[in-house]
Amino acid sequence: MYKKKSLILTVLLVVVSMFALTACGSNKEEPTAKDDSKKEAVTDTIKVTHELGEATVNKNPKKVVVFDYGVIDSLDKMGIEINGLPKSNLPAFLKKYENDKYEDIGTLFEPNFEKIHEMKPDLIIISGRQAKQYDELNKIAPTVYFNLDGANYMDSFKENMKTLGKIFDKESVISDELKNIDDSVKKLSDKAKSNGKNGLVILANDGTLSAYGEGSRFGIIHKEFGVTPVDKNIEVSNHGQNISFEYIVEKDPDHIFVIDRTAVVGGNTSAKQVLENDLIKNTKAYKNKQIVYLNPEIWYISTGGLNSTMEMIKEVEEGIK
């Protein structure tokens, strides 16, 4: 009888020990599960170095504020939503952003810091017009400055697009788009160089005229698009070189490319009103219908975008037919 009790007791102890070991095993696994969930919660980041500093940015940021219409154009092409932008002077091809679901964050030159702070963005993107506001904006959220160098438009444009691709995990999309643009630029350049004709780029500003040559903000027409400048000595300046009607008549370019600033910022005198006078009517460009009025919403405030750059190519290509 005693032996039986002893045997039963031994069996019970073995069973209890097995349960205890199983329970311990399951308890050891719990921290691993917690560790795995913690790893999954970690957000990938990317370090972006730019002319004004450096920013550590979350990959695929959720709340994005953008001050540059060219960048907005590119993000739209990539299917990336933004949350805030300056709505004054919004180009017609970006009218969808007038919708109230997008916050109005000020103007191109004057950010609404209070509004941006309330939004708590993950990323702010700026360009030249907001460069002076960089430090203040960078205090609110990681801020990336995208420079577009007129003297080296394509190089700086491509660099900006590749950075966007890395931030938003769209590198293959950007690669395909840039290849299409490169192919179109080569086609245009070959055409412009083969026709042997020259050109002059003019900005009309409410009655005044400025010329832009190689190395200027509109120098892409000459350097990348292949149109020979009628004057290789035009002063390189952000505001261009002031010119007269007599200057245009003297240089007598084959093509005149016109950007009407007044159409974007307002004024009383359009580019056509200024240019189509008796003096200009004596030029080859006028006689051959080669005064090309470029879209100022693209050329003046929306350069540097995937769509806008392709439109720039198309406008010049159609203009030199």
Instruction: List pLDDT tens digits, range 116-152.
Output: 999 999 999 999 999 999 999 999 999 999 999 988 9
Please give the Cα distance from 213 to 201 (Å, whole number).
7
Give the model confidence (pLDDT) of 28-46 as tens digits: 444 444 444 444 445 699 9
Q: Of 255, 321, 303, 320, nearest to 312 (Cα)?
A: 303
As a CATH number, domain 45-147 is: 3.40.50.1980
Tell whether the torsion through CA atoms of 284, 289, 290 and 296 is positive or negative.
Answer: positive
Q: What is the pLDDT of residues 69-79, one digit of tens each?
A: 999 999 999 99
d(CA 319, CA 292): 6
Residue 58 burial (C-beta neighbours within 10 Å; 0-12, 13-18, 19+): middle
Find the Cα–Cα–Cα–Cα dihedral 276, 282, 284, 289, rounded to 10°. 40
For residue 42, the model assigns a pLDDT of 53
Six token digits for residue 46:
């990317």
Per-residue pLDDT tens for 223-258? 999 999 999 999 998 889 999 999 999 999 999 999
Tell me if 45-147 shares its fold with 195-319.
yes
Residue ranges covered by each domain of the chain: 45-147, 195-319
Cα separation, 320 vs 315, whole angstroms: 9
As assigned by CATH, the class of the 195-319 domain is: alpha beta
With a cut of 80, say whether residue 17 has pLDDT above it. Answer: no
